[in-house]
Structure 1
Amino acid sequence: MTTTPAAAPSAAPTTPPRPPRPLLDVRRIYLEPEAAELPRGQQVLARWPDAERVEVASHWQIPELAGDEANVRRWVRIKTEALVLGVKKSLTARRNGRSSDWIAPSTANGCAMACAYCYVPRRKGYSNPVTVFANIDQITGYLARHVRRQGPKTEPDQVDPSAWVYDIGENSDCSVDARLSDNVHDLVDLFRGLPTAKASFATKHVNRDLLGWDPQGRTRVRFSLMPHEAARLLDVRTDPVATRMAAVDDFVAAGYEVHVNLSPVVVQDGWLQAWDELLVQLDDTTGPAFKAQAAAEVIMLTHNAGLHEVNLGWHPKAEDVLWRPDLQQAKRSETGGINVRYRTGDKGRYVAQLLERVEHRTPWLRVRYAF
């Protein structure tokens, strides 16, 4: 008797993977009426024509964005869907001396990315979507006058041997800001024409639109790097570290001065070996043009009790490595806040260990400062 083979079991239905949430999908714009009347404000509104518009008295005082603990559960959604349009009221350049000589007045505040250690949420409450400042002409005018008042830099320092360096992205990521408005492009254009100064910003996002801006060496891009596994946990919604490294040579070729930030350095099991592997990859990935002008900043983790509580509401796994009372101590910051940092003595030892790895694996990489 001939038997018919049993039919093979049908494969279980599969659920297609959920597409990644876009970095920006602006659906609501909170705006100061004054900002909406300026050309840059109109540009932003035109870029997101279907977004709901909500007038506010102040970009700093939006109760449904800041100060509401319930927003912790919607942290990433708010960053993706909300945008604030305001006017920068205080135009001052603040002395720095580490990453830059001066901190420029912000043209944006907040970020669409969500790094678990970011200090900006400490100041803005439970959510920090991007705020774009529309009075860009006032900001660039102030900066041009400030640069002229400094005159030439007559004494080299660790920031730069001959130029006054202005950090234009202290409170945001300029590569992301450039997807929202032309503010960053205007700043790159400004510093191209200032022979005694340079712009500078750190970034975790590769925006290749910047490659066509012809900075002529007057803008320094600092790609932030950390070991891959740590970045997967802590650098939420950022470009992969390998993607950032792969962009370095292209930005050098496009006329940018390119440095790297080795930050934040997070102490955990196997951290030194992970940094060693990252440095080997940086050496293998980048070419001689980058290495001839490269420099680095090494920045140890600083954390904060308030941010710790926020993170517990949306990303508690990050706190397993960020909040380490067994390794950390309280310390008052330069701005008066109470943060936690690695213990005195131990921190110096950690820095020295990492610098030894830098010297061994990337002897061409000059460390401008480490703290």
Structure 2
Amino acid sequence: MTQAPEDAIDVDEPLAPKFVAATHDATGEQVPTRDLSELAPPARPARRWTPKRVVITPDALDHPHAHRIVERVEARGIEVERLRANRLTGVRGATERETYALAKSTMAIVVSPPSRRKLQPIAPSADWRVDLAEGCPAHCQYCYLAGSLSGPPVTRVYADLDDILGGLEPYLGQGTITSRRADRAQEGTTFEASCYTDPLALEHLTGSWTRAVEFFGQWEAPVQLRWTTKYDDVAGFVGLPHAGRTRVRFSVNCLPVSQRMEGGTSTVPDRLAGLRRLALDGYPVGLTMAPLMPLDGWREHYGHLLDLVEAAVDGVPDLDLTAELITHRFTPGSKEVLLGWYPGTRLDMDESRRTTKRGKFGSTKYVYPEDVMTEMRTWFTDELARRLPELHVLYWT
């Protein structure tokens, strides 16, 4: 595998240091406003994943978007292996750790399974979950995908993107989280596109979320595309005709968590710089504060995080900022998987320090005790209201 020269790849061109903030009219056309270049963080190279192996299935080749992905990948000097069958092989090693390493360095271009095309509710985040990919190249020691997805953690990107987006209209107005709730009705019908992946970890290889943003920008209806990320590669989204119909949230945590437990991701300051860039370009933005943990000195650590957030949004005109507050939880299955992936983790998964929560189908989840949850919720609610009065907290869980 060879790597193309960086200066030969258009997708690697950095965001120009000066840009004009824009709003968007009803047709999605940009309407330039005042020059806000002095408010923008300086351009810097974004962190990007380079898979060691990229494969494509025969069925995927029937879709135009697959060829767009192949073109992007090969432009980066990465060979795309054409599989003879629609079955992934070569991603299991002799040990669980070897399997993890092989799978985490592999990207597969596939057709989404039929079950993914039938959208499911995704409370409390949004009305509907729409998947453009499955799997994530990051190495977060608390990974929520552990135990949720079957088989080795290969990143699968969906070739049938055009069909996925084309099938969304029947869901318009049919959800129960934002479609019909008065306190979030202004968001319209919401579609969550990052449940099982991180869009900015993959966008330079797929272009899928760019097309989704443009699709929603042209959709003349009360709708919103939503996704969240731990990366900062936002250059390609600045200037898109998004029409304010995409909310990008950045997952943030205090430094003891982000620096020790979120391998392969962008730093929190870089993520917040990305949030600022998109907010200046008129995007609704958000904070996914997760997973919140009552570490030793947690008020000090999270207070420092809120200092960084305050600085990141300072002076942004017409700021539309939300927050979703999610405490750490785990299941017996996810604990087993995570300890196999990260045997030396410092993540606290001591069941004796947790309360058992039962799901409607009999599943078991370990959450923090009620008194800890109340104390943390009260602190975050008060601090966010004091520091960021314009912020709207969507939920706590």
User: What TM-score, normalized to structure 1?
Assistant: 0.82
- Give the structure 2 partner of residue 365 of structure 1: 391
- The CA distance in 2 between the partners of 1:346 and 1:223, in whole Å, is 25
Is 1:323 equivalent to 2:334 in the alignment?
Answer: no
Cα distance change of structure 1 residues 314 and 94 upon mapping to structure 2, 3 Å threshold: closer
CA contact (8 A) 1:31 1:56 kept: no
Native 8 Å contact 2:187 2:224 kept in 1: no
In the alignment, structure 1 residue 53 sits paired with structure 2 residue 82:
yes
Partner-residue secondary structure (3-state), 2:241:
coil
What is the alpha-carbon distance in structure 2 between the residues aligned to residue 139 and residue 305 of structure 1?
33
Q: CA deviation at 1:64?
A: 4.6
Give the counterpart letter for 2:86 in structure 1.
A
Aligned-pair Cα RMSD in Å: 2.6
2:124 equivalent among 76, 98, 101: 98
CA displacement, residues 67-123 of structure 1 (integer Å, 9 cap, x when unaligned): x7824245355323x11121112312222342112212x110001112121222313
TM-fit CA distance, 1:366:
2.3
CA offsets 1:207-263 (integer angstroms, 9 cap, x no match): 121223221211000111111121111111110001111222210122311011111
Q: Which amino acid aligns with 2:111?
A: V
The structure 2 residue matched to 1:86, chosen from 99, 110, 127, is: 110
Point out the structure with max Rg over C-alpha.
1
User: Which among 177, 183, 204 is matched to residue 230 of structure 2?
Assistant: 204
Which runs of 5 or more structure 1 residues have no equivalent in the other structure? Answer: 1-21
1:343 matched to 2:348: no
SS in 2 for 1:302: coil
> Within 1, Cα distance between the matches of 2:365 and 2:373?
15
Residues 335 and 33 of structure 1: CA distance in aligned 2, closer, same or farther (over 3 Å): farther
2:373 is matched by which residue type in structure 1? K
1:161-202 Cα distance to aligned partner (Å, 9 max, x none): 251111112111112231221221221111112231010001
Aligned counterparts of 1:79 and 1:324: Cα–Cα separation in 2: 27
User: What CA distance in whole angstroms lies between the structure 2 residues aligned with 1:162 and 1:312?
Assistant: 39
1:147 counterpart residue number: 172
Amino acid paired to 1:136: L
Change over 3 Å in CA distance of 1:362–1:45 after alignment to 2? same
For residues 284-316 of structure 1, the C-alpha deviation after alignment (integer angstroms, 9 at most, x for no partner) is 232243674211110011123333233334434
Q: Which residue, out of 311, 323, 342, partners 1:284?
A: 311
Kindly provide the amino acid, as one letter, of the partner of residue 129 in structure 1: V
Structure 2 CA distance for partners of 1:76 and 1:351, relative to 1, 3 Å: farther
1:332 matched to 2:358? The reply is yes
- Quote the sequence identity (%): 21
If asked which structure has higher relative contact order (CA below 8 Å, sep 6+), I would say: 2
Q: Check conservation: 1:30, 1:56, Cα contact below 8 A.
A: no
Residues 351 and 149 (structure 1), Cα distance of their counterparts in 2 relative to 1, 3 Å cut: closer
Matched residues, number: 341
Determine the C-alpha separation between the residues in 1 that align with 2:172 and 2:134: 22
Which of 231, 236, 242 is the matching residue for 1:215? 242
Structure 2 unmatched runs, 5+ = 1-46
Residue equivalent to 2:17: none
Alignment of 1:67-216 (within 5 A): 70-73=95-98, 75-76=100-101, 78-80=103-105, 82-88=106-112, 89-90=114-115, 91-104=117-130, 106-125=131-150, 127-147=152-172, 156-194=181-219, 195-207=221-233, 208-216=235-243
